């Protein structure tokens, strides 16, 4: 059972940001530090509105939260104990939407990079940049 009243839970959930998250800001800082500039943020002209898009290079970067986008095998991709059916449906729809967006982008000639939130907690952030640089 949820320990918070419905109004309080709703208020908490409304505070969760979808843009300019801490993880996104870290990735953008890494890109700038490595001379990768000229990107667009949350570009709505392409499917899925990638968090970071390099239109000229046709590279789309999605900075995914492990919880919301179900990073397989990650400790942050847990399922809440209350309203399990609701959460399973929500997570399933998120993953299916993500897959549709990635496939649509790939079919349109874009290269897709997914950066998971937990990767940004690691000491070795060079691996993230290497995955992106190889596409340039």
pLDDT of residue 121: 84
What is the CATH classification number for the domain harbouring 31? 3.40.960.10
pLDDT of residue 24: 94
User: How would you classify the pairing of strands 111-116 and 59-64?
Assistant: parallel
Domain range for 92 is 18-133
In a domain, 81, yes or no: yes
Record the pTM: 0.85
Looking at the 3D structure of the chain, how many domains does it have?
1
In a domain, 11, yes or no: no
Residues of the chain with pLDDT under 50: none
In a domain, 114, yes or no: yes
In a domain, 103, yes or no: yes
In a domain, 129, yes or no: yes
Give CA 124 to chain center in angstroms. Answer: 19
């Amino acid at each position: 059972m949820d320990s918070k009243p419905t109004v309080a839970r709703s208020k908490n959930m409304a505070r969760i940001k979808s843009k300019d998250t801490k993880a996104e800001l870290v990735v953008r800082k890494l890109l700038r530090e490595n001379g990768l500039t000229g990107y667009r943020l949350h570009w709505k002209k392409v499917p899925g509105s990638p968090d970071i898009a390099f239109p000229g290079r046709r590279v789309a970067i999605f900075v995914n939260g492990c919880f919301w986008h179900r990073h397989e095998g990650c400790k942050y991709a847990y399922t809440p104990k209350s309203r399990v059916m609701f959460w399973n449906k929500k997570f399933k729809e998120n993953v299916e939407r993500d897959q549709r967006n990635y496939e649509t982008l790939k079919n349109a000639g874009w290269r897709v990079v997914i950066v998971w939130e937990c990767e940004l907690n690691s000491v070795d952030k060079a691996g993230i940049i290497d995955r992106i640089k190889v596409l340039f």
